[in-house]
Amino acid sequence: MAKLNAVVLLFTFVILLTDITTTTTVEAQGTNAKPLVKFKHDYFQTYQFENLFSKRNTPIAHAVGFWDYFSFINAASLFEPLGFGTTGNKTTQMMEIAAFLGHVGSKTSCGYGVATGGPLAWGLCYNHEMSPAQKYCDDYYKVDYPCTPGAEYYGRGAIPIYWNYNYGAAGKALNVNLLDHPEYIEQNATLAFQAAIWKWMTPVKKSQPSAHDAFVGNWKPTKNDTLGKRVPGFGATMNILYGEGVCGQGDVESMSNIVSHYLYYLDLLGVGREQAGTHDVLTCAEQLPFNPNTKLAAS
Ligand SMILES: *[C@@H]1O[C@H](CO)[C@@H](O)[C@H](O)[C@H]1NC(C)=O
Ligand SMILES: *[C@@H]1O[C@H](CO)[C@@H](O)[C@H](O)[C@H]1NC(C)=O
Ligand SMILES: *[C@@H]1O[C@H](CO)[C@@H](O)[C@H](O)[C@H]1NC(C)=O
């Protein structure tokens, strides 16, 4: 027990140290979002959001006061008419919320092996990359999405956005000038969730499914998909969002971590992980990437 305590203490100390050295000038601001629109399905409620992201406002988290239930609900309501959380029966709808939030939790977690409450309780701990090693400006896209001098396109958001062209495309879709103001994503939780849900709802290429379509079963795989072992389900959503960063490499940690968050949320939402399906549906361990050799928004 003493040993465990020492490990936890050490862990806390490392985090505090990291905080001191990497604190940026941008403070996470609470957006204090009010419910603008009621989420059509009142069965995803405040207490469930709190259960899923129970550690996000502890003092050692990195976006204290930033993320809240209403920012998610307000963002989700924009995409409800397109089917987000509203496709199929209640189970399917809850599963889509668990799946989407599973990506979010995994990508914004600061929970590691010894974190209190377990590593899966730490989703929404971050709202931006802490120590970006570069500005993520790709000149190849300078005609459509030129980098704004001084702007930095490091990872920000609920399913983090990287690179000028991804900020540009999200901004165009949401009608917000993210190319000039990528920082909006780490200042406004509603916008951060909107960008993430937009990503979930939008195919990388027109001929391909969105993560939403792949998850809810709107997508019919082609022959080529079948050859690449791509089947509808949670695994395919990882393939679409991250591609070869996590897929087609067996049960690697980068993939298992996302899956673990999804299963944990299925349990917390009362659906139960046994609904998640077989390994080939749940994971993308054996799938060929939809888009080999491309940098995707969220990788
Ligand atoms: C909900 O829909 C899914 C997919 O169509 C189906 O497999 C499942 O049996 C349905 N569940 C209930 C409770 O109707
Ligand atoms: C945050 O973003 C949402 C969605 O784009 C917008 O409606 C809202 O006005 C923004 N809030 C602030 C404080 O800028
Ligand atoms: C078939 O899949 C492979 C690998 O996933 C890909 O490189 C190729 O472009 C695909 N072909 C078509 C016609 O989509």
For atom 1 of ligand 3, which residue has the closest CA? Answer: 224
Ligand 2 centroid, distance to 191 Cα (angstroms):
6
Query: pLDDT higher for 18 or 130?
Result: 130
Ligand nearest to the CA of 94: 1
List pLDDT tens digits, range 66-93.
Answer: 999 999 999 999 999 999 999 999 999 9
CA of 195 to the centre of ligand 1 (A): 29
> How far lies 34's CA from each of 31, 139, 249, in Å?
9, 39, 43
CB 138 within 8 A of CB 124: no
pLDDT at 111: 85
Taking residues 112-117, report their average pLDDT. Answer: 73
Check whether 241 has a pLDDT greater than 90.
yes
If phi > 0 it is left, if psi is from -120 to 50 it is alpha, else beta; for residue 118 that is left
Query: In the structure encoding, which two tokens stand for residue 297, read together?
Result: 């928004």
Domains defined along the chain, listed by start: 41-126+203-298 (1.10.530.10), 127-187 (3.30.20.10)
Look at residue 115 in the predicted model and tell me its pLDDT: 72
Give me the pLDDT at residue 24, please. 29
Q: What is the reported pLDDT for 297? A: 56
Q: Please say if the pLDDT value at position 40 is more than 80.
A: no
Q: pTM of this prediction? A: 0.86
